Amino acid sequence: ESTGRKRDRRRHDSSSDDGDRRRPSGGRGGRNGRHDSSEEEDGRGRRRSDSDGSGKKKRRRRRDSDSGDDGRRPGRRHDSSDDDDDDDGSESVDAAGRAKRMSSGHRSGLQDAGDFAAAERKLRKKQRRELEKYNAKNGGDGRTVYRDKSGRKREVDPAADEAELARLEREREERQVRSNKGARQRDLEDLEAAELAAASSMTVARGIDDRHLEALRMAEIRPDDPMAAHAWKKREEESAAGTDGAPSAARPTYKGPQAKPNRYGLRPGYRWDGIERGNGFEDRVLEKLHSRGHKREEAYRWSSADM
Average pLDDT over residues 109-127: 92
Closest CA to 36 of 64, 14, 63, 67: 14
Give the angle subtended at the CA of 269 by the CAs of 268 and 273, to the nearest 5°: 85
The reported pLDDT for the residue numbered 40 is: 47
Confidence of residue 75 (pLDDT cuts 50, 70, 90): low
Distance between CA 168 and CA 165 in Å, rounded?
5
Confidence of residue 99 (pLDDT cuts 50, 70, 90): low
pLDDT digits (tens, 9 = 90+) for 262-286: 888 888 999 999 888 889 898 999 9
Distance between CA 130 and CA 138 in Å, rounded?
12
Helix and strand counts by DSSP (H, E) for the chain: 6, 0
* Residue 291 reports pLDDT greater than 70: yes
Distance between CA 188 and CA 196 in Å, rounded?
12
Confidence of residue 180 (pLDDT cuts 50, 70, 90): confident
The whole-model pTM stands at: 0.24
Distance between CA 184 and CA 192 in Å, rounded?
12
CB atoms within 10 A of CB 23: 22
* Residue 256 reports pLDDT greater than 50: yes
* Residue 83 reports pLDDT greater than 50: no
The reported pLDDT for the residue numbered 258 is: 86
Structural contact between residues 236 and 243, judged by C-beta atoms closer than 8 angstroms: no
The reported pLDDT for the residue numbered 65 is: 47
pLDDT top residue among 82 and 48: 48
* Residue 251 reports pLDDT greater than 60: yes
Break the chain into its structural domains and give their ranges: 1-51, 166-195
* Residue 126 reports pLDDT greater than 90: yes
DSSP structural state of residue 93 = B
Return the minimum-mean-pLDDT range out of 6-15, 139-148, 150-159, 285-294. 6-15
